[in-house]
Structure 1
Amino acid sequence: MKRLVSSALSRATKYLGNRNPFPQPMDPNEHTVWLQDNTAYRPKGGDGSTWEAEFVAAFFVKDPNRRALTKMVASIADQLDLAQGDESEETIAKRLEPWTTEILPGHTVRINIGGTHDAKLGPGDRSGVSKNVIPMEADKAEDGDTVDSHAVGVDTHPMTTTYVEAKGWAVISDIDDTIKITGTGDIGAVMRSTFVDEPTPVDGMPAFYAHMHKTLDKAPVWYLSASPYNLYPFLHAFRNAHYPPGPLLLWNASWMDVSAFVLALTKEPERYKCDKMRELHRNFPDRRFVCIGDSTQRDPEAYAQTCREFPGWIRAIYIRRVPGGSDGSKTAPERFEKAFEGIDRGLWHVFDEPAELYERLDALVAGDPSGTRDGTGEAPPPSQPEQKSSCVLL
């Protein structure tokens, strides 16, 4: 009876979000929560000695809908031509659970931040997601430092907060086919790499990201992807295994609908990525950003649009040329020339192997905006004073 009353109350108040007058604490026996990695920043108008961060939590009923899960597993196994009872079905079921788990509006959870103090997150909105801005007790924190927080009394993965000062280097990185092999453009390849195969990093990218993280003085990394939040645990574990820490900015667009996941990858949400980059610009307008993406979707166009919108904010754009495709139009030189029309040619580079990027990045940090040899075999010129604007608008 208690659960029925709680569910009815949640449904009645789910549209109120943080204004919900009847929030309910989550029950660890019946509910679960995902805590999402974030960044701490200096609040605007502050005295420069304090930090705050937006903490995002997603609440769910603990057990998936088993009937729906069984049907979805069978459907995907059939699409991938797997034999009935194939051992891969267990992996498929585990990764599909977020698509068959009911979201939980109107609930709260207590977290412990870095072992120093507790705070309450929630209540979640109608999507079961809460966002709370919380002061951080970290007077001695430095740029690039991290701190872990965990839900009190709840068995779930911790979240990592990265402290980010107003100035310095920063990175925006795509995920699918930029740092992880997904097979975007081939629905069968996407389904297999997402629900069956062990996630595989793009060859050479973990080493380059480690080099970049060191070269850019532990620069924060935001992983910006069109993949839906259903994949957060899957992608979080992949990132932890291969890449520097950083928030996963995923698309909150497809709960309990796998078809919407495929749609997200085929609709090429350029607007979504540009909106997220505008949010980053609002919080960190004085950071110098390196953007990394690939040719399978609209990363070149999204990065170029943002570059034009905020001249000087983006200092380098690296696009991985992914082989394949039906007509070769996505990897044609004309596509990139059109996407980056009006932008300094020294700012963007299309690469086939990550090894091409080391010299460019090192030269960028040394002060050379083009970061490359000019094709004559001559080394880049000596370090120059940092340019105030790297985007050239026509």
Structure 2
Amino acid sequence: MTRIIAFVGLLALATPLCAAPLKLDEEVLLVPTVARDAGDGRIIVPVDAWVHEHEPRRGAMALFARYLALDLDELPAEERARFTARTQLFRVDSERGKVLRVGFADGREATLPRTRGDGRSRAEVEIDAALVDARGRIEYEVLMPPGDARRLAGRVLHVPAEGLSIVSDIDDTIKHSQVRDRRELLLNTFLRRFIAAPGMAARYRELAATPSTRFHYVSASPLQLLPALDTFLAEAGFPVGSLHLRETTSLTRLWRSDSRAHKHAAIESLLRDFPRRRFVLVGDSGEADPEIYADLARAHAQQIAAIAIRDVSGEGADAERYRTTFAGLDRDLWQVFTTADEWRIEAAAD
């Protein structure tokens, strides 16, 4: 029988009087999370949901467009539609007191706690390992109320206790973003088609050939971009993985000072949850990836197998920045590359 581990003592209160089912005009964002082994053929699956209702808030969209010096009325239809879609999750009302039930492929069901004021609900569900597919995924769906024919599906990445984990940044590591130019970053994020960094998807697929290898995409990009980034990763041919995006509610605070803290904490959590796995950290030189990864390598020397930094700032591997940042670490541990074929991928897989 499926049980919600974190809320065993509260099952009798799973549907309090102030709770309500999902309405037809309400949406659910299901965050791709990471599942871990519990022993005896069981797996602990975190289910993370955000219930919200779309709002037009055209004034907010127009204000953001003005900030970017864009005239929405003059934009080509494709760009306007893309801008509208990618800003939509910043223009929502989060729904409090919603109760969701989720179902797994074998017919098991679980009730999540009612959503908080931010529309979020999270619980850990214990399931059988047999539900993991050949790509390491566990799929589930929201059980909709009567009369609601929508299918809201989520996925979780099962990570074995041992193996190789590739932790990858997104912006300017595997996707052209131009983080160092704020306006270009925002235009590339909200207006233009996403463009993959040449050769990186193929290099990642080489590593993905090993069955125990898993991918974790850790980015300072906001959670509201999850649907667009998930689609980009799939269409560009990157391996399926978990996404660890930053929590923010404001278009005016994108990629601000807490970005470094978010990345460090997200990777630290993976290292803590999987102490017997080896990790390859892949990032770029545009912001603080080298410094974050060096700090983590010193704190978790037995777990970090390699660090790879894509050079987007033209500094070169012999720059003072790298000598200072990686001081005291084995020179074979880290590398700086410009193109994907320069990355010593064999060393990373050792």
Determine the structure 1 residue equivalent to 2:30: 35
1:242-253 aligned at under 5 Å gives the runs 242=236, 243-253=238-248
1:223 has 2:183 as partner: no
Mark the CA change 1:144 to 1:83 in structure 2 (over 3 Å): closer, same or farther: closer
Mark the CA change 1:166 to 1:221 in structure 2 (over 3 Å): closer, same or farther: same
Mark the CA change 1:331 to 1:227 in structure 2 (over 3 Å): closer, same or farther: farther
Determine the structure 2 residue equivalent to 1:260: 253
Matched-pair contact (CA < 8 Å) for 2:15–2:99: no
1:90 Cα offset (Å): 2.4
1:160-171 aligned at under 5 Å gives the runs 160-171=155-166
1:124 Cα offset (Å): 2.2
Gaps of 5+ in 2: 1-12
Pick from 329, 332, 345 the counterpart of residue 346 of structure 1. 332
Determine the structure 1 residue equivalent to 2:268: 278
1:218 Cα offset (Å): 4.8
Q: Provide the aligned length of Structure 1 versus Structure 2.
A: 331
Gaps of 5+ in 1: 1-17, 368-394
Write the distance in 1 (CA, Å) between the matches of 2:317 and 2:116: 41
1:76 has 2:65 as partner: yes
1:1-394 aligned at under 5 Å gives the runs 21-22=16-17, 24-43=19-38, 47-61=39-53, 63-64=54-55, 66=56, 68-73=57-62, 75-76=64-65, 79-82=68-71, 84-87=73-76, 88-139=79-130, 141=132, 144-153=135-144, 155=150, 157-214=152-209, 216-242=210-236, 243-253=238-248, 255=249, 257-261=250-254, 264=255, 266-267=256-257, 269-323=259-313, 333-357=319-343, 360-365=344-349, 367=350
Write the distance in 1 (CA, Å) between the matches of 2:282 and 2:29: 27
Q: SS of the residue aligned with 2:90?
A: helix
Mark the CA change 1:123 to 1:92 in structure 2 (over 3 Å): closer, same or farther: same
Write the distance in 1 (CA, Å) between the matches of 2:186 and 2:348: 38
For 1:356, give the aligned amino acid.
E
Write the distance in 2 (CA, Å) between the matches of 1:148 and 1:246: 13
Determine the structure 2 residue equivalent to 1:14: none
Matched-pair contact (CA < 8 Å) for 2:246–2:259: no
Determine the structure 2 residue equivalent to 1:379: none
Post-superposition CA distance 1:223-252 (Å, at most 9, x none): 111111111111111122221111110111
Determine the structure 1 residue equivalent to 2:4: none
Q: SS of the residue aligned with 1:41?
A: strand
Q: SS of the residue aligned with 1:160?
A: strand
- Coordinate RMSD, CA, aligned: 2.5
Matched-pair contact (CA < 8 Å) for 1:151–1:158: yes
Q: Which has the higher relative contact order, 1 or 2, with Cα contacts under 8 A spaced 6 or more apart?
A: 2
Post-superposition CA distance 1:120-175 (Å, at most 9, x none): 22322232221100001234758852232122226355222222211111111111
Identity %: 25
Matched-pair contact (CA < 8 Å) for 2:48–2:122: yes
TM-score normalised to the size of structure 1? 0.77
Write the distance in 2 (CA, Å) between the matches of 1:120 and 1:83: 43
State which structure, 1 or 2, has the greater radius of gyration over its C-alpha atoms. 1
Mark the CA change 1:164 to 1:198 in structure 2 (over 3 Å): closer, same or farther: same
TM-score normalised to the size of structure 2? 0.86
Write the distance in 2 (CA, Å) between the matches of 1:177 and 1:20: 44
Matched-pair contact (CA < 8 Å) for 1:150–1:157: yes
